[in-house]
Every structure is written in structure tokens, then in C-alpha cells.
Amino acid sequence: MGDAALIQALQRIVGEQHVLHAPADLAAYAVDATPLLRSLPTVVVFPGSRDEVKAILELASEKRIPVIPRGAASNLSGGTIAIEGGIMLNMNRMNRIIEVDAANLTATVQPGVTTAQLAREVEARGLFYPPDPGSQVISTIGGNVAENAGGLRGLKYGVTRDYVMGLEAVLPNGAILRTGGKNAKDVAGYDLTRLLVGSEGTLAVITEITVKLLPKPETKRAALAIFDRLEDAGRAVARIIENKIIPCTLEIMDKGTIKAVEDFAHVGLPTDAAAVLFIEQDGPRAVVDADIELAGRLCREEGARDVKVAATVEEGTKLAEARRFALPALARLRPTCVLEDATVPRSHLAEMIRFIEATARKYNLLICTFGHAGDGNLHPTCPCDERDHEELERVEKAFAEIFDKAVSLGGTITGEHGVGIAKQDYLEWKIGEAGVAVSKGIKAVFDPLGILNPGKVLPKATRKRLVVRQG
Ligand SMILES: Cc1cc2nc3c(=O)[nH]c(=O)nc-3n(C[C@H](O)[C@H](O)[C@H](O)COP(=O)(O)OP(=O)(O)OC[C@H]3O[C@@H](n4cnc5c(N)ncnc54)[C@H](O)[C@@H]3O)c2cc1C
């Protein structure tokens, strides 16, 4: 099918105003938030309903045209890059909150609803949707489900997967699949809901999502612990958890990140510190006060030179915002910013951070680390310049070693950003040969023609492991 005929056929399905094909328009859809990757789609289409998605996929199947589902394109693994061209299926028009069901504690939404929009809507009714990726103002629930997004509250509340109860999805051949629902208990057959969560747009297009809600916590309180030694901060994280405090947020920023955030946002962070821990607890007031008090004491015992407790919820929110500025602040330093999400069991946090620092020195790079310390999910971030090929080679080698080390410590190559293109050749390190074979089989069952988000997740080649394995 020629491009002109494809454009006309899509215009007949969704209306002329919902199809983009001018070169200047397509250029905006050649990239996502991942650095270094760029490829033009043939056409961009904005369906307004499940039936339009179905008609587009039937057309794409018949003509063997790649389809790339897209939410806000904030992913950091190249998940929405149209590497083979094709139809960019932009889900943003499907942005209705269909229902908030207070009796069943669920919300049912279309995939284009933003994470923040859902959180606000349910909070207004005294309810709570915990997953809060740093990108929540722009990221969509569809994108969160497809990436199994985490967030700052992952330690206490889990990730997107833990809240998805049911899905409606369209398979590449146009068939409609409904999984799960509002039942708190449901063991009918294979857990297809969980299979689709984190499938990165490669198995089906998600058109409706039912999520679990919680009662909104009574209050929350935050503190900032300041350390002169990174190891002390790492040990403080372990001590807090050992003492049976599960803060809703327990984030770390290293020296480089603190400086970048302070230069960017002027929030009063101590730029001479080696690390800060941002600690937030929510729940009943008495529990929150006791937990923050004890967490502060444990930080001091582990060497924190100061612990600042926010006097009000608003002051705490400001501290949380400072942490959310980490990526934009680091991204300003150089033309390119490579951010990864190597994750380790939290007992290995300090060792992993030390390894990242040593690797940065070995390859003469600036690698700043921040992240979700409480769940071992680190974001080593390297401001660099993609025009400098020699520097990029060093960046690639450094991150290969960081992934290898994470896997050696019983961790993973990606804690929340997904595999996409960025990490597909490392996947076998984590899931093994048998895992890759089963994954390929699953892809073939859902998408035998290979039209849905082709070239993502599954490895094209497998890299050799680098670091001597431990234990
Ligand atoms: C500043 C910043 C902070 C971030 N912080 C976090 C964080 O704290 N935690 C975290 O986990 N991530 C974070 N991210 C990464 C990103 O925001 C998440 O991966 C998010 O879930 C992507 O949502 P999106 O709507 O942008 O999806 P997109 O980027 O558009 O798509 C992501 C993937 O989902 C697929 N997809 C999208 N919609 C559908 C659909 N309806 N059906 C099927 N497949 C679909 C796409 O094909 C793609 O593979 C951050 C990104 C940035 C830029």
C-alpha cells in the first residue's frame, strides 16, 4: 500500500483532522524522551475510540504495516521510536475518566488520561492512586501500564502493576481482549492482565484500564537528611527499613545531582554535602510523626550531619519537588543526557553507588546518581554530548559495566523504564536464554505478523557479560 493510499484509508477511519502526514509534523514524532534515537513514522493518527483503534489495526494487519502505540512519549527506553516507519498510534484523544467507583475502590479510565489527572480526580473524592512517576504531569496511564511505571512512592505502595485490575485491549488482528475487572479475587485462567502490564506496546493496544484505589492517607510529613559520606546515606537507608519503617518515599541524591538541582531550582539544598536522603511518610498523624522522628534519629546515628524536618505539608511538597527536578536539572548541563535505571536489592545500594562512581572515574565521565533508594532503583545519569563519538563510546562501555554489576548483585538492567530499544541487547543477562525463548513465543501468539511496535524489547543480539560474576 502506498503512503497516499494509507493516509486516505486512515482519514476514512478517524477523520481528516486526526491524521498528520506533513514532514514538519512527522518530525515531532520521530523522537521520545530517550536520547540518541530518532526515526520518522510514515503517518501519525489520533483514534478517538476503541473501534477506531480496532479498524486501524485491522488495516495495518491486512497491509503488514508497523503500528507504534504512543502516549506522552516520555519513556526513556526508545519505546515509541518508529524504527521501521509505519503508523504512530497516538492515544491522547482517548483521555476520559470513565468512572470512579467508591464502593469497589476502583477507577476506570481511557489510556490517554494523564497520571496527575487521575490522581487529582480521585483525591478530590478522598481516594488515592499511589503510582507517581516523576513524569506524572505528562505521562499517560496507558504509557504507565505499558511500561509498568514506578515512582517515588514505590517502596511502600508498589508500582503500576500492583494497581491494574482489568484491561481492555485490541490485539494486532483487531480482536478485542478483556482481562480481569473489578473483582478483588479472580483466578480465572492465566493472568493476562499482568502479562500486558509492562508489555511496552508490543502485544496489544490498551484501550481501557481499571485501577485499584486506596483511601487517601490522613496526612504526610517529610524530612531531608544531609550526609558528608555517601556510604553513611546508604547505611541509613538499610537501618530505616531494618527498623520496620516503610516510608512512602525514600530518595537519594548524590553530590553532583544536589549541585545541579540547586543551580536549577534554588531550593536551598546543601551543595557541599556528599548525599541527601529525602524521606516522606504518610498515614495517621501519630504514626507519621513517630516514623519521621525515628528515621531522623537513625540517619543521625549513621552520620547525618543534619536532619531538617518540614514544618508543614507544603514545605514537604517543596522538598519532593526538588527531587523531581533532578532529571531536568542534569539535562541542562550538556547537550545529551543518558539516564539509566539499574536496580539492586537495597542491601547493595552503597556498593552499587560506589561502583558507579568508580566506573565514572575509569571512563573519565560525569555520572551523577539519584533515585529511589528505598527500593534500590538508582538513576545513574551521564550528561554528555552525542556529537562526540569517542565520548559516547565511553558512555556505552560505562553503562554496560553498570548493568553487568547490577545483575551480578542480584539486581536488574531496568527497574522501571523498560527495555525498549535501549536495553534489548542486555535482556538475556537478566532473564536468561529460556526467558528470551518464552518471550519470543508470547510475542508470536499475540502478534504473529510482527506489526505491533516491532524491534522493541526482544534482543536482536546478546552482548557478552563483562564483569566477573559474583556469588
Ligand atoms: C522527567 C521524567 C521523569 C520520569 N520519571 C519516571 C519515574 O519516576 N518512574 C518511571 O517508571 N518512569 C519515569 N519516567 C519514564 C516515563 O515517564 C514512563 O515510562 C511513563 O510510563 C511513559 O508514559 P507515556 O505516556 O509517556 O508513554 P510513552 O512514552 O508514549 O510510551 C511508553 C511505552 O508504552 C507504549 N504505549 C503507550 N500507550 C500505550 C497503549 N495505550 N497501549 C499499548 N502500549 C502503549 C508505547 O508503545 C511505549 O512502548 C520519567 C520520564 C521523564 C522524562
pLDDT tens, position by position, 186-234: 999 999 999 999 999 999 999 999 999 999 999 999 999 999 998 899 8
Of 65, 94, 61, nearest to 82 by C-alpha is 65
Between strands 336-339 and 97-101, the pairing is unpaired
82 half-sphere exposure, CB direction, 13 A CA radius? 23
> Distance from CA of residue 139 to its chain's centroid?
9
The SS3 of residue 127 is: strand
Give 235-294 pLDDT, tens digit per residue. Answer: 899 999 999 999 999 999 999 999 999 999 898 899 999 999 999 999 999 999 999 999
| First and final C-alpha spacing in the chain | 54
Cite the beta strand spans of 228-318 per DSSP E.
249-254, 275-283, 306-309
- What's the whole-model pTM score? 0.95
Q: What ranges in 382-450 are assigned the alpha helix state H?
A: 389-408, 427-446
- Residue 170 has what DSSP assignment? E
* Residue with CA closest to ligand 1 atom 20: 144
Q: What is the mean pLDDT of residues 299-306?
A: 97
Type of residue at 403: F
Closest-lying ligand 1 atom to the alpha carbon of residue 32:
29
β pairing state of 214-215 and 127-128: antiparallel
CB 203 within 8 Å of CB 447: yes
Comparing CA positions, the residue from 2, 78, 91, 111 lying closest to residue 453 is 78
User: What separation in Å is there between the alpha carbon of 456 and the centre of ligand 1?
Assistant: 14
* DSSP 8-state code for residue 301: H
* DSSP annotation string for 68-93: EEESS---SSSTT--BTB-EEEE-TT
Sign of CA dihedral 248, 418, 401, 336: negative
- If DSSP codes are grouped into helix, strand and coil, which group holds residue 292? helix
Ligand 1 pocket, mutate which of 52, 75, 90, 205 (most atoms under 8 A from CB): 75
Contact 347, 397 (CB under 8 A): no
CA pair distance 396, 415, nearest whole angstrom: 19
Cα 143 to averaged position of ligand 1 atoms, centre (Å): 4
CA of 141, closest atom in ligand 1: 25
d(CA 266, ligand 1 centre) in Å: 28
Nearest CA to ligand 1 atom 27: 143
CA 95 to chain CA centroid, Å, is 20
Confidence label for 321 from pLDDT (cuts 50, 70 and 90): confident
What is the distance in A from the centroid of ligand 1 to the CA of 72?
7
**pLDDT averaged over every residue in the chain:** 94
For ligand 1, mutation pick of 37, 46, 93, 147 (most atoms within 8 Å of CB): 147
Please state whether beta strands 219-227 and 87-90 pair in parallel, antiparallel, or not at all (unpaired).
unpaired
Which residues share a beta bridge with 379? 370
The side-by-side arrangement of strands in the sheet containing 87-90 is 19-20, 43-45, 87-90, 67-70
Ligand 1 centroid, distance to 70 Cα (angstroms): 9
Q: What is the secondary structure of 1-32 as a DSSP string? A: --HHHHHHHHHHHH-GGGEE-SHHHHHTTS--
Report residue 407 as a C-alpha cell. Answer: 545483575
Residues having CB closer than 6 A to ligand 1 are 32-33, 68-76, 79-80, 91, 111, 133-135, 139-140, 142-144, 146-147, 149-151, 200-201, 205-206, 327, 416-417, 453
Q: Say yes or no to pLDDT of 424 above 90.
A: yes
Question: By the 8 A CB rule, do 281 and 247 touch?
Answer: yes
High-pLDDT (> 90) share of the chain, %:
88
Find the angle CA(212)-CA(215)-CA(217) to the nearest 5 degrees: 125
pLDDT at 385: 95
What is the Å distance from ligand 1's center to 146 Cα? 7
Closest CA to ligand 1's atom 35? 201
pLDDT band at 468, cuts 50/70/90? very low
Residue with CA at minimum distance from ligand 1 atom 18: 75
Relative to the CA of 418, which ligand 1 atom is closest?
19
Index of the ligand 1 atom closest to the CA of residue 74: 26
Which of 139, 193, 207, 325 is the pocket-test mutation for ligand 1 (most atoms within 8 Å of CB)? 139
Q: Whose CA is nearest to atom 1 of ligand 1?
A: 135
23 has a pLDDT exceeding 70: yes
Distance 136 CA to ligand 1 centre (A): 9
H-type helices in 33-157, by residue range? 50-63, 115-123, 141-147, 154-157
Looking at the predicted structure, is the pLDDT value of residue 81 above 60? yes
* Rounded Cα distance, 105 and 161, in Å: 16
pLDDT score, position 465: 67
